[in-house]
Structure 1
Amino acid sequence: MADIFEPRGINKRAGDHRIDGWVGGRADTWSGHYLEAAASRAQADAYQMLADNAHAATIATQLRDKDAATARHEQAAAAGLSLLPLTPGIGMEIHGVDMANATDGQVNVIWDLLMEHKVVFFRDQEHTSREEHMAFAKRFADIGLAYGRQQALGANPDLGKHPEILKLYSDEARPFAAANWHSDVSWSDRPPLGSLLLSRKSPPVGGDTMFADSYAHWNNLAPALKEFLEGRVATHGRASRDEVEHPICRTHPVTGRKALYINPTFTNAIVGMEPADSARLLSELYAKMYSTPEYCCRFRWRDGSVAMWDNRSCQHYAVADFWPHDRFMERVTLLDRNEDNEVPFWIDLLGERHYGRVLTSEEEISTPIGGSTRTIMD
């Protein structure tokens, strides 16, 4: 199979002299490659012109991005916040947040930054009580039981007084919890919007969490592979539960952007492909998705640190390198207030939504999947 990702500078197909998907960098580096292969000076001139145009477009985009970034910093400052981007594409650390006393203006800025940067981080929240943790989450979304849905509670017996808070212990008995790339609960017919994770106890070294940009994963696929995957579904599941099908190309209900919605933890197969072909393609996709550092950020935890992420636009990996130290986190699950947006969907060129379905041993449940099992904590 040909490389499933095109070069990061130029996406070029045989017989197609357009340069699309430009993501930055010097045009002459890539154009030189094609100039050497050009059959004539005319072709070389054509390639150079296209490369120059792409470079000019990149500069224009960078200027727009710079203006937008300036505006974001000004809006944050007006709300009493300061910003520290972890990378240009994903991850924003926000300073000045007090989860127990956040203003409406701060909440609005945080939400906008979450939609743009996929994951945001706060520091110094160790004073936050469980009640304040949940109250802050409710400023953005409904909150559900630990896994979002009532029938999933058996997966975490330590729910205690607060069933809406998932307690995540990593110790001698479970040193590798969540040490794999995943989008939370993609095995559910209604995966949660996101998560609000508070560190109660962090190891002195190690135990970082990595986040990967699912928009970038999709955007940088080779055009032919995008065409092949768009509109297809993949099965997701976990032990003792019915499988669900979700679109491989997922449309974000807020931003309208497309994301690659598969992960090696819960995705089982691409529907409509032979098992061996599906396994090979998924393996190649994962190899590319998680070996591109430009699509990732990494967060170093301290006691009282918080990460808030959007499961629809990013994935994460809890790095298991802190043995023999312990780690204790508490997570609140965020549910979209608009139930129509909870079930993953793909929007076609006509603007129509296409959903997946739940697969049981006896029947296939028609779309849209989900229903009355959604449990909201008031």
Structure 2
Amino acid sequence: MSTVSETITVQSTPVLTLYPQTSAVPKEETENYKYAHLLPTFSSVKYPPLEPFDHVDPGQRALSHPDPRSFLKNASNVIEVQPVLGTEIEGLKLTQLSNNERDQLALFVAQRGLVVFRDQQDFIDKGVDYYREWGSHFGRLHIHPTSGHPEGAPEIHLVYRDANHTFNFEYDDSITSTVWHSDVSYELQPPGLTTFFLLAQPTTGGDTLFTSQVSALRRLSPQFVAFLRTLKAVHSGIEQADFSRSGKRGGTVRREPVEHVHPVVRKHPVTGEEALYVNKQFTRRILGLKREESEAILSFLYNHIAKGGDSQARVKWRPNTVVLWDNRITAHSAIIDYGESKERRHGARITPQAERPIPALNDLQL
């Protein structure tokens, strides 16, 4: 079991010893499936610890543009999903954006938290080399330590569930499938702008919930926020690794789990907005407080996040939808409510890492 540390490293390449890929879904079950080449595979390849890197946020470059939202000029429809979170865009092709427009998109996602693009089949059908190129514009690509990925493309994180298999992070003994989280927040440099799309989806259900951690923080009293700014919390990947070691989700741990300390309130490097940065899936305890004090505060914050419908948005998936969100200022949860239908839900995530979380309190030492 790893311990809390102040530094860690981010892998760029795996160790040289490679092992055969293990297909998670038998080929005979997906013979006529268009995206069978993107099904999850698992191997015994082992990765070294992650190494720190300097992250330059592309949204920062867009701040100097005379019209940072000019990339929207060809959109046929731009709709706010919810006042504080989310915008849905139609008529704009992500594959046609220039690098300058991608920078503008990064800024827009940082400002809105969540952006939904419809009718993006050309993006989805571009394949893994394009996914890598797309994601690398926004940061260094994260390789997940336990999840499945397409054969030969460990940078693409997959979620998958059908009538006979599940590779989601879910518990059979829970009364709900809702698990609010910020992706791999246990890393020293967690993700920033994240891209996700479904390759297959159930006829109904399988939505994704999002919540604005900026809005959630703003709804708290100034006195309480001032106190939260002084706190830092441990985020841990140990439970997720143990879940896989138990034989679930593919049963693979390719990189040993880590724990890192992050501020409870972080500041976005581009917008300057402050956001809560705790989540029930990965945050374990607040440092410097006694156990009961830490549990009371975290329990309050988790309940506040979960119950804050006025800070939440729900994405209803349609074929060829691509969703982008800023992992630094939002949390999300998949809704696994389609099990009885036995239908397939197959999603791919492109996950660039960003900076080490910046404390909202300038002199907070991590």
Q: Same fold (TM over 0.5)?
A: yes
In the TM superposition, 1:1-378 aligns within 5 A as 75=70, 78-80=73-75, 82-104=77-99, 106-128=101-123, 129-130=126-127, 131-139=129-137, 141-147=138-144, 152=145, 155-171=146-162, 172-174=164-166, 177=169, 179-239=178-238, 241-323=257-339, 324-336=342-354, 342-348=355-361, 352=362, 354=364, 356=366
> Offset of 1:159 from its aligned partner?
4.4
- Can you give the 5+ residue segments of structure 2 that lack an aligned partner in the other structure? 1-65, 171-177, 242-256
What is the alpha-carbon root mean square deviation over aligned residues?
2.4
TM-score by structure 2 length? 0.68
> 2:272 is paired with a residue of what secondary structure?
coil
Cα 1:175/1:320, change in 2 over 3 Å = farther
- Please identify runs of 4+ aligned residues in structure 1 that moved more than 6 A: 71-74
TM-score by structure 1 length? 0.66
Cα 1:204/1:243, change in 2 over 3 Å = same
Q: Report the Cα distance in structure 2 between the residues aligned to 1:229 and 1:247, rounded to whole angstroms.
A: 9
> Offset of 1:353 from its aligned partner?
5.7
> Offset of 1:105 from its aligned partner?
5.9
Given that 1:73 and 1:82 are in contact with CA atoms closer than 8 Å, whether structure 2 keeps it comes out as no
Given that 1:250 and 1:259 are in contact with CA atoms closer than 8 Å, whether structure 2 keeps it comes out as yes
Cα 1:261/1:109, change in 2 over 3 Å = same
> 1:110 is paired with a residue of what secondary structure?
helix
Given that 2:274 and 2:360 are in contact with CA atoms closer than 8 Å, whether structure 1 keeps it comes out as no
Number of aligned positions between the proteins: 271
> 1:287 is paired with a residue of what secondary structure?
helix
Structure (1/2) with the larger helix percentage: 1
Given that 2:185 and 2:235 are in contact with CA atoms closer than 8 Å, whether structure 1 keeps it comes out as yes
2:25 aligned residue: none
Q: Which of structures 1 and 2 has the bigger CA Rg?
A: 1
> 2:122 is paired with a residue of what secondary structure?
coil
Letter in 1 for 2:358: F
Considering Cα pairs closer than 8 Å and 6+ residues apart, tell me whether 1 or 2 has the greater RCO: 2
Cα 1:157/1:320, change in 2 over 3 Å = closer
Given that 1:345 and 1:353 are in contact with CA atoms closer than 8 Å, whether structure 2 keeps it comes out as no
Q: Report the Cα distance in structure 2 between the residues aligned to 1:146 and 1:74, rounded to whole angstroms.
A: 31
Q: Percent identity?
A: 27
> Offset of 1:233 from its aligned partner?
0.3
Cα 1:78/1:195, change in 2 over 3 Å = closer
Given that 2:229 and 2:360 are in contact with CA atoms closer than 8 Å, whether structure 1 keeps it comes out as no
> Offset of 1:286 from its aligned partner?
1.3
Q: Report the Cα distance in structure 2 between the residues aligned to 1:138 and 1:175, rounded to whole angstroms.
A: 25
